Amino acid sequence: MKDGLPDSGKFIINKEIPDDDHFMTSIETPIRSDAFEIDDEIKVELIEKKFREIMEILGLDLTDDSLKDTPKRVAKMYVKETFRGLNPKNKPSVTLFENKYKFNQMLVEKNIQVYSYCEHHFVPIIGKAHVAYFSAGKVVGLSKINRMVQYYSKRPQVQERLTVQIANEMKEMLQTEDVAVLIEADHLCVASRGVQDVSSSTVTSSYHGKFLDSNVRDEFLRYVYDGK
């Protein structure tokens, strides 16, 4: 995936570390070079041990029937579900089709469910992604767009990076610059702790190619918000 800034869109890159704010340092997920040298089963075992320690430090009694399997459950969930998108081997394979009908209008896939995790607090980010593109000769099954959104969501994330990663993937996958991604999401770290603002949601966008034209962008936003 190409590293770089999106052509437009609201996002924050902040080199300083504010106390309780959300920032990101790069478009790429910061990942160690040895990230996949141990296999998933070993990771589950290691995380189980560490999570058990965290619970014990918190003072929980791990002999209680309700708690005794929690470390294992959390470890499996982290490796096999919540953070499975860290591992490139879980990236969905994509088949492209010729655009036989010469459909040259905007294709919009809206309300794609997003379940991600804030990388600063490890609590959920829950929202919807809206993705659009103009075919440059190839089209992709719509369910693949959903799967790609899910793949990048299943990582510790910041919403801005998630938005740009999906846009970059769409550009590469469909061999076009004409891509738009909009995500609206609630961050449980904001809603349930810290400032405890339950009514705010965060909107991020990444517009490229034809979507830099405000008429095209408005058309996309009308599809998303009015369904027309």
If the CB atoms of residues 121 and 171 are measured against Zn ion, the closer one turns out to be 121
Collapsed DSSP state (helix, strand, coil) of residue 186: strand
If the CB atoms of residues 22 and 52 are measured against Zn ion, the closer one turns out to be 22
Residue 120 annotated in active site = yes
Closest distance to Zn ion from the beta carbon of 191 (Å):
10
How many other C-beta atoms are found inside a 10 Å radius of the C-beta of residue 228?
A: 6
Between the alpha carbon of residue 139 and those of residues 95, 148, 173, 178, the distances in Å are 9, 14, 9, 13
If the CB atoms of residues 24 and 167 are measured against Zn ion, the closer one turns out to be 24
Closest distance to Zn ion from the beta carbon of 182 (Å):
20
Residue 159 annotated in active site = yes
What are the residues whose beta carbons fall under 8 Å from the beta carbon of 200, sequence distance 6 or more?
186, 190
Residue 22 annotated in active site = no
Dihedral (Cα; 93, 94, 95, 97), 10-degree rounding: 180
Task: Out of 48, 130, 157, 159, pick the active-site residue.
Answer: 159
Closest distance to Zn ion from the beta carbon of 12 (Å):
13
| CB contact at 8 A, 203 and 160 | no
Residue 118 annotated in active site = yes
Residue 119 annotated in active site = yes
If the CB atoms of residues 118 and 170 are measured against Zn ion, the closer one turns out to be 118
Query: Among 144, 139, 220, 209, which Cα is nearest to 182's?
Result: 220
Residue 169 annotated in active site = no
Q: Which residues bind Zn ion (CB under 5 A)?
A: 118, 120-121, 189
Task: Out of 22, 160, 165, 189, pick the active-site residue.
Answer: 189
- Phi first, then psi, for residue 73 (nearest 5°) are -60, -45
Task: Out of 22, 48, 121, 160, pick the active-site residue.
Answer: 121
Closest distance to Zn ion from the beta carbon of 79 (Å):
21
Which residues carry out catalysis? 118-121, 159, 187, 189
